[in-house]
């Protein structure tokens, strides 16, 4: 197990290197630089700024400097937010995005799989159709529509929650963003778990269980649940990576100091170091989460474990 884990981690190094390489050159290919504004800078000042951030050096040398920095855990200073380094910005933004994302995911997993499993168990019932219709809505209504509706309802009309802001992470400031983030995930998970449950319920071992006269609740939770969750888990890996590194839209609308905004703002400002920082961070994250998903798979599905042993 540990050997497998380490092997996978080492295997990720070339992937990360390629991510760094491609994004480093791609962002530099975009016209315009970090110090281009509608006001013009004196050429001498521009030259000084370029020199300060090594932008006057050949690109391969800049790449060398960057790699050296990363190996020392230093993503460099942000070009845009001058009082902060990229590491500090990620350090401030990531915990916020992670807390929101994990809460949203937990909520989605709980509600989504419960709804999906019940819908499958009562296939073609009114409940099933209801869940499927609502989940279709959840998937097709984008969060930039959902968030303003929630704000209008719960912040402006009923004044239950604040319309935005973070307020150092107060509970009431978290609820609307978490719900906004969770809604489409609930819908996805409900649909995936329903499909999966229907398949599992038709498999011989469940029929055997039923014919043995075991109670339904017992069968659903002890026998059917684990295999049902397999496709959900494989969906969760990249979904968690996406959701906890922040959603640009949700963060913008609710004014949340997360990581998501930096992806877009960094690119728009040509804040090279910030863009690189978040891209590399995100890349590493996805790789790690995929690895965790693979390990979880082994735990959930004995067949995979067995095949592993045979190999």
Partner 1 sequence: MSQPTKLIVGLTFACFSALLTSVSCLAAETFAAKQVLHRGNGSEPQSLDPHKSEGVPSANIQKDLYEGLISESPDGALVPGVASSWTISKDGLRYLFTLRENAKWSNGDPVTAHDFVYSWRRIVAPKTGSYYAQTLAPVLNTEEIIKGTKKTTSLGVRAISNHQLEVTLKGPTPYFLGLLTHSSTYPVHKASVEKHGDRFARVGNLIGNGAFVLKEWTVQSHILLERNTHYWDNKNTRLDKVYYYPIENQSSELKRYRAGEIDLAEGVPISQMPWLRKNLKQDLRIAPYLGIYYLGYNLTRPPFKSNNKLRQALSMVINREVLTEKILKTGETPAYGWVPPNVANYQQVEYEWKRWPMSRRIKVAKELFQQAGYNKDKPLTVEIRYNTSENHKKIAIVIASMWKKHLGVKTKLHNEEWKVFLASRKAKKTQVFRSGWIADYNDAYSFAELLHSSHGVNDSGYNNPEYDALLAKSARESDSNARRGLLQQAEKILLNDYPVIPVYFYMSKHLVKPYVGGYQDNVMDHHYSKHLYIKAH
Interface residue list for partner 1 (CB under 8 A): 30-33, 35-42, 44-45, 48-49, 52, 77, 80-84, 89, 92-93, 148, 151-152, 155-156, 159, 162-166, 168, 251-258, 261, 268-270
- Round to whole Å and give the CA distance between 207 and 200: 10
CB of 250 to partner 1, least distance (A): 11
The nearer residue to partner 1, 84 or 127, going by C-beta atoms, is 84
Q: Hey, which residues does 299 pair with through a beta bridge?
A: none
The nearer residue to partner 1, 162 or 184, going by C-beta atoms, is 162
- Round to whole Å and give the CA distance between 208 and 210: 5
HSE-CB at 248 with a 13 A cutoff on CA atoms is 8
Picking from 229, 246, 242, 232, the residue whose alpha carbon sits closest to that of residue 100 is 246
Residue 184 tokens read as 């489409």
CB of 81 to partner 1, least distance (A): 6
- Round to whole Å and give the CA distance between 141 and 184: 8
The nearer residue to partner 1, 184 or 258, going by C-beta atoms, is 258
Picking from 218, 230, 222, the residue whose alpha carbon sits closest to that of residue 192 is 230
The nearer residue to partner 1, 158 or 217, going by C-beta atoms, is 158
Q: Are 289 and 277 in contact (CB under 8 A)?
A: no
CB of 164 to partner 1, least distance (A): 5
- Round to whole Å and give the CA distance between 261 and 257: 8
CB of 258 to partner 1, least distance (A): 7
The nearer residue to partner 1, 124 or 159, going by C-beta atoms, is 159
CB of 152 to partner 1, least distance (A): 7
């Amino acid at each position: 197990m540990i050997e497998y884990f380490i092997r996978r981690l080492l295997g990720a190094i070339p992937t990360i290197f390629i991510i760094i390489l491609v994004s480093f050159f791609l962002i530099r290919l975009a016209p315009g630089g970090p110090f281009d504004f509608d006001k013009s800078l004196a050429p001498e000042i521009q030259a000084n700024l370029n020199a300060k951030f090594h932008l006057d050096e050949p690109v391969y040398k800049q790449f060398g400097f960057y790699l050296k920095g990363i190996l020392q855990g230093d993503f460099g200073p942000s070009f845009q937010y001058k009082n902060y380094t990229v590491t500090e910005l990620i350090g401030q933004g990531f915990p916020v995005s992670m807390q929101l994302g994990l809460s949203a995911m937990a909520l989605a997993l709980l509600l989504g799989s419960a709804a999906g499993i019940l819908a499958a168990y009562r296939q073609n019932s009114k409940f099933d159709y209801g869940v499927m219709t609502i989940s279709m809505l959840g998937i097709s209504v984008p969060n930039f529509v959902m968030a303003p509706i929630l704000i209008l309802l719960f912040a402006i009309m009923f004044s239950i929650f604040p319309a935005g802001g973070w307020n150092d992470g107060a509970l009431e400031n978290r609820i609307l963003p978490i719900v906004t983030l969770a809604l489409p995930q609930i819908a996805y998970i409900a649909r995936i778990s329903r499909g999966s449950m229907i398949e599992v319920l038709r498999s011989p071992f469940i029929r055997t269980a039923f014919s043995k006269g075991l109670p339904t609740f017992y069968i659903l939770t002890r026998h059917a649940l684990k295999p049902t969750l397999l496709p959900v888990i494989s969906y969760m890996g990249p979904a968690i990576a996406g959701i906890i590194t922040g959603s640009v839209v949700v963060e913008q609308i609710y004014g949340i100091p997360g990581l998501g905004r930096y992806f877009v703002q960094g690119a728009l400002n040509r804040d090279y170091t910030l863009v690189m920082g978040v891209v590399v961070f995100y890349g590493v994250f996805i790789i790690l989460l995929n690895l965790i998903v693979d390990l979880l798979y082994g735990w959930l599905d004995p067949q995979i474990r067995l095949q592993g042993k045979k190999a």
